[in-house]
Amino acid sequence: MATTAGFPGGRPALATGPRKSNASNLTCSRGAVRCAANLRGTLPEGLPSLGLGTIAWGDEGYGFNTAYREKDLREAFEAAVTRGVALFDTAEVYGYKSGKVGQSAEHLLGLFAKDAEAGGQAGAFVGSKVFTIPWTNMLMGGGFRTGRKQLVEACKASVERMGGRRLDLWSIHFPFPTFGQGTLMDALEEAMDLGLTNAVGVSNYNLAQMEEAHGLLERRGIQLATNQVKYSVLSREPETSGLLDRARELGVRVVAYSPLDGGRLARRGGGDAKIAELLKLMEFIGVANGGRSAAQVALSYLVARGATPIPGVKTAGQVEAHAGAVGWGPLDENEVGVISEKVEYLGL
């Protein structure tokens, strides 16, 4: 496989300096983050405008070791590096049961990244997330999570599962009433100070929570790098709530999970007549843009809005299909507007 430049990784041994993808047309050109120069934890330049989700990696509930195996996931990783979309989202709990045999999502990503580096390839940008439920120790081991110390220990465990590779991004998986925002931001700060991660983020934060988190980190001299939220053509709350625009103002990159709405934007709407009608419009737009699929148009819509979609993948074929959503667009303002109007008209 040809060597492809990638993104700054964790440990110095894995990344000696900024690197750029050879698919430069994949980098963000709209909604680019703008961070204060004196803040730590800003995202590196040249990150792709589309990433990939790994919720199914190592999880037998999704078919791991039956429908797909480690070999398939390795091929998916390699395809992502080749196509310049090697921005991976994971979490400590993804495939955690397989962690006993070194096959959780974090284990696999760490292994694949290490092997890629050893072979002269660029590796990947990897972001992981920490569960904030106190009794997460029942799944992951360790102590009952009561505060900053236990959360930081969880980050150390993630780094260990990654083979000692510093995380490129470490995020709070979701806000939980047990922890105040100050405690959560203290944990993110300490992880930065200890060199466990290059940047920090949050996930499932609404507008007010994001603004609070940003303010708390900014006072610590740290940039809130990302907010990962559910966002798709069919789930547009980040647009309607003002979160997307505010994130852009704060220099926070919005990462869109479930960008194909659980597959409804990739499988003829799952029997829903209204979604099927929307997909016909998106297929037409795809034809006008060189024969793109409705799913690729759905992903391009989010890129055009300034978000970074992270569709889940298990095979190299899925990586190739999703990578086809970038490199030719994104959609122009008229196309985005037509899709938005259609969604509103159909009451979706």
Q: Are 126 and 162 in contact (CB under 8 A)?
A: yes
Give 256's strand partners: 229, 309
Query: What pLDDT is recorded for position 4?
Result: 32
Rounded to 5°, angle at Cα 51 from 47 and 54: 135
pTM: 0.88
Q: What gap in Å lies between CA 220 and CA 164, rounded to an integer? A: 26
Active-site residue, 94 included? yes
Residue 51, amino acid: G
Long-range contacts (CB closer than 8 Å, 24 or more residues apart) made by 30-36: 30/303, 30/304, 30/305, 30/306, 30/330, 31/244, 31/248, 31/254, 31/305, 31/306, 31/307, 32/306, 33/225, 33/248, 33/251, 33/252, 33/253, 34/251, 35/223, 35/251, 36/218, 36/223, 36/251
**Which domains, ranges and CATH numbers included, belong to the chain?**
37-267+303-331 (3.20.20.100)
Within 10 Å of residue 53's Cβ, how many Cβ atoms?
A: 24
Q: What b/e readout covers 202-241, taking b as 16+ CB neighbours within 10 angstroms?
A: bbbbebebbbbbbebbbebebbbbbbbbebbbbbbebeee
Q: Are 128 and 170 in contact (CB under 8 A)?
A: yes
Per-residue pLDDT reduced to its tens digit, 104-150: 999 999 999 999 988 888 769 999 999 999 999 899 988 899 999 99
Q: What gap in Å lies between CA 292 and CA 225, rounded to an integer? A: 31
Q: Are 57 and 95 in contact (CB under 8 A)?
A: yes
Per-residue pLDDT reduced to its tens digit, 78-111: 999 999 999 999 999 999 999 999 999 999 999 9
Q: Are 203 and 21 in contact (CB under 8 A)?
A: no
Residue 46, CB-side half-sphere exposure with 13 Å CA sphere: 17
Q: What gap in Å lies between CA 64 and CA 60, rounded to an integer? A: 4
Q: Is 312 helix (H, G, I), strand (E, B) or coil?
A: strand
Query: What pLDDT is recorded for position 6?
Result: 32
Query: What pLDDT is recorded for position 27?
Result: 40
Query: What pLDDT is recorded for position 119?
Result: 84
Query: What pLDDT is recorded for position 271?
Result: 79
Residue 300, C-beta contacts closer than 8 angstroms, at least 6 positions apart: 289, 292, 325, 326, 329, 330, 331
Q: Are 126 and 90 in contact (CB under 8 A)?
A: yes
Q: What gap in Å lies between CA 144 and CA 155, rounded to an integer? A: 14
Query: What pLDDT is recorded for position 10?
Result: 36
DSSP class of 30 = S
Annotated catalytic residue, options 68, 94, 205, 301: 94
Sheet holding 253-257, edge to edge: 52-53, 87-89, 125-130, 169-172, 200-203, 224-230, 253-257, 308-309
Structure tokens at 232: 């798709």
Q: What gap in Å lies between CA 30 and CA 307, rounded to an integer? A: 9
Q: What gap in Å lies between CA 51 and CA 187, rounded to an integer? A: 25
What string of DSSP letters covers 3-16?
A: -------SSTTT-S
Residue 5, amino acid: A
Q: Which residues of the chain have pLDDT under 50?
A: 1-35
Query: What pLDDT is recorded for position 36?
Result: 53
